Structure 1
């Protein structure tokens, strides 16, 4: 062999013969099969959750957001008993804000919502602070205050209607005990009926507020409280200067949730007063139901529903903004 010729090296490679069994058992074939199985398994794991969630997502997309858009469009039409799809501009919104009953509903919402939120917050904080003292019957008291949360507003409204109806509940009980001159006619008094809704709503939701604030109180570091006691701070000063200010996120979240409940209140009013006497306890939700489903004014009811949606968004969006901002800065 001359020096100019390149050196040739014959590499011996074991290749499977033409026997299918040998080919299937070859390490390279098995490796390719394993990779293919992993690929299919990974694809299945990737798409299976999406396939499971897809029906619920599609139903929500149609029956929630789709009908919101449909309601919004109907609010710009002259729909009455049946939907009409001819564009009519803002005529329904003009009729809405010209309606005396709508203004009464808005005033009732401000009164009910303000008292409902304020009293729930005040009672919730007070009871949570008392329970935070770790008294012996804390578990029993917590169960008592949380029990109304297990009831629907329909049950709450019906129960309080029995108690507040003149001649049936509280008034009858007082007469049987000897106070025959006692009267309590708030439920049938147009000027006072809205306050019966406040009473029932506060009874229903205070336990929820207590649970939120109690969780917030239990989440505060004890070292801060011990340090304050070492510095000579009393219990009142510790709560007013240290603990309560640190619960600002809980206050804000509770305010958002209670405001959302107040705007959407419907079943409580319908079960307790039915919007009466007359329409003295109407709220925007009951106004929408009355005109859209009982008076054949679909367009006007849709307009009131969209205004309510704007009110809910005005409450929820600041909460979402604060949450997202806190996460980004965190």
Structure 2
């Protein structure tokens, strides 16, 4: 009997590890091992094929002396700033409206969340048609009688990046709304009632009491949307393909182009490592903050 129980105990201890081990090995090889390999390639003289010599930070010097990379970094800054600001503002506004227990809330919530069910490739393709002057919004408005209406941002280098912002905001606003709505539903109604008893109006209650209580939701939304903005490859590829010219070049599209089109594997690896460091600079403080709060909470 003892040996049977001991065997069961050993099975209960090792079976989960055995089941999870293939996934852990796949993650280690497919993620961490390739991150290390990319890091080494970024320190080598690799071009069309990988080389395993060591040239220090030469590829990073070449990267930061490339005008297209400077354009990509500037576009990333503009895109991220507008994407975060508009998505958070609109998502929070929709969440507050839905929090008023309006009719057909379930249907409206599904409508706002629907874009998140689409891939960024589908979103980029759809908005490419919508923003096409010969096919989309401009053509429809012109046919309705406003012949002077012009909306050709997608063909103009100085405005094309804002087309990417529009498509990304449409795709991700429902996601921000869902997180904010979950945060709002987790707030005790007695707080709102107490503020109303004290004479505070509903807008004042939200601005002064409820929205500051949504700090964890804001933090989660900022971190996740920042990650989406940094890895925005498929949306840009489908919507503008980095154009017109290189007006909508982003670090992710630069990395792809440098590695697979211009045979500059070392420069592409260096750009990938710069993206990784940017993501780490966002994720690590977030994880540290969460772990510290859990530690103090216990």
TM class, shorter-length: over 0.9
Q: 246, 250, 265: which one pairs with 2:213?
A: 246
1:200: Cα distance to partner?
0.2
| Structure 1 equivalent of residue 56 of structure 2 | 89
1:272: Cα distance to partner?
0.1
1:87 and 1:217 mapped to 2: Cα distance? 53
Structure 1: 5+ residue runs without aligned partners? 1-33
| Structure 1 equivalent of residue 99 of structure 2 | 132
1:233: Cα distance to partner?
1.4
2:17 and 2:258 mapped to 1: Cα distance? 40
1:250: Cα distance to partner?
0.8
**Number of residue equivalences:** 297
| Structure 2 equivalent of residue 101 of structure 1 | 68
Match of 1:181, SS state, is coil
Match of 1:280, SS state, is coil
Residues 151-202 of structure 1, C-alpha deviation per residue, up to 9 Å, x if partnerless? 0100000000011011111111112212222221111100000000000000
Q: 221, 226, 232: which one pairs with 2:193?
A: 226
2:247 and 2:203 mapped to 1: Cα distance? 42
1:115-126 matches, cutoff 5 A: 115-126=82-93
Structure 2: 5+ residue runs without aligned partners? none
Does residue 306 (structure 1) correspond to residue 284 (structure 2)? The answer is no
Q: 214, 223, 243: which one pairs with 2:181?
A: 214
1:173 and 1:229 mapped to 2: Cα distance? 47
2:62 and 2:110 mapped to 1: Cα distance? 48
Q: Which runs of 4+ in 1 moved over 6 A?
A: none
TM-score normalised per structure 2? 0.98
| Structure 2 equivalent of residue 166 of structure 1 | 133
| Structure 1 equivalent of residue 5 of structure 2 | 38
| Structure 2 equivalent of residue 62 of structure 1 | 29
Q: Which has the larger radius of gyration?
A: 1
Residues 302-326 of structure 1, C-alpha deviation per residue, up to 9 Å, x if partnerless? 0000000000001101110110000
RMSD: 0.7
2:138 and 2:199 mapped to 1: Cα distance? 51
Higher normalized contact order (CA 8 Å, seq sep 6+, divided by chain length):
2
TM-score normalised per structure 1? 0.89
Does residue 317 (structure 1) correspond to residue 273 (structure 2)? The answer is no
Match of 1:282, SS state, is coil
Match of 2:101, SS state, is coil
Match of 1:247, SS state, is helix
Match of 2:45, SS state, is coil
Residues 79-136 of structure 1, C-alpha deviation per residue, up to 9 Å, x if partnerless? 0110001111111000001011100000000000000000001001111111111011
1:241 and 1:199 mapped to 2: Cα distance? 30
